Amino acid sequence: MTDKLIKIAYLYEDLMNTYGDSGDVKILSFLLKRRGYDTQVDNISLGDEFNAFDYDFVFFGGGQDFEQTVVAKDIPRHKETLEKYINAGHPMLCICGGYQFMGDYYKTNSGVTIKGLGIFPLHTIFKSDKRMIGDTKYMTEWGEVVAFENHSGQTYFDNTEKLHPLGRMIEGYGNNPQDKAEGLRYRNFIGSYSHGPLLKNVNVANAIVEMILNWHKERVTNKESITE
C-alpha cells in the first residue's frame, strides 16, 4: 500500500447522490491532490463486500424515500464495520439520507418505518406539512458554514448527553424547526443536512482533510508493522 494513496469509500454512490453530494468527494480529492496525495474512490453498492478499516474516509450521501428503502435492505450487513470504524474515531461524512441511516429509524410520509443502523440514538420523522428548504447558515467549531437544505425529515436526538450538533443555526432549520441545531458531530463522524455541497465551505473541508491524513498515517503504519 502506497503512503500517497488515499482510499475513499462512497456508500451507494449510484443510489444516494442527491443535490450534488458527490461534490463533497470531488472537493476532498482536489484538496488532497494539492497536498500531494492521489485518491481512489470505490462505490460500495448493493451486495458489495466492505470493510471500513480498508479506507481512509467513508462518505454516504442523500437519497429519496424509494432509494432509501432499497438501501435499507442491504446496509445492515455493514453495521458492525461502520460502528467500529466510527467509534474508533475515524473520519466519516454522512449527508441527509445517509445521516438519517445512522439513527434508529426513519418514518416516511406513508407511515412506513425504515429501520436504521442504530449506531446513534436519534430518529427521523417525515412531516409533509413542513418542508425545510432554502439557504442555511450556522456556526461550527471551524467557523461559519453556508449551505442549502431540502428535506421534510425532521431528526431528533434521543440522547443529548452523548450526541452534539455539528453547528448552531443562524439561518434555516437544520435537524428540525425546534432545536436550532444542524447535524451531528461525534468524534470524527459528521452528519449533516447541508447540500450545496457542504464542503464548498473550505474551513470544514480542510478540517476533514486533516482527519483523513491523520487516520491514513495510522493505517499505513499499522499495515507496515503487520507485514514486517
Distance CA 169, CA 147 (A): 11
Residue 228 has pLDDT above 70, yes or no: no
Instruction: Give the model's pLDDT for residue 189.
Output: 98
Confidence band for 224, pLDDT divided at 50, 70 and 90:
low
pLDDT tens readout for residues 17-46: 877 789 999 999 999 999 999 999 999 999
Out of 96, 123, 151, 216, pick the active-site residue.
96
Out of 78, 90, 151, 195, pick the active-site residue.
195
For helices 202-227 and 22-34, what crossing angle results, to 10°?
Answer: 70
Instruction: Give the model's pLDDT for residue 139.
Output: 98
Across 27-36, 176-185, 217-226, least confident range: 217-226
| 195 included as an active-site residue | yes
Average pLDDT over residues 81-89: 98
| 123 included as an active-site residue | no
The closest alpha carbon to 148, from 199, 113, 114, belongs to 199
Contact predicate 193/95, CB 8 Å: yes
pLDDT tens readout for residues 195-212: 989 999 999 999 999 999
The closest alpha carbon to 62, from 31, 17, 25, belongs to 17
Q: Residue 71, SS3?
A: helix
Instruction: Give the model's pLDDT for residue 25.
Output: 97
Instruction: Give the model's pLDDT for residue 187.
Output: 96
Residue 2 has pLDDT above 50, yes or no: yes
pLDDT tens readout for residues 161-170: 889 999 999 9
Average pLDDT over residues 140-161: 95
pLDDT tens readout for residues 90-110: 999 999 999 999 999 999 888
User: Taking CA 156 as the corner, what is the angle to CA 135 and CA 164, rounded to the nearest 5 degrees?
Assistant: 80
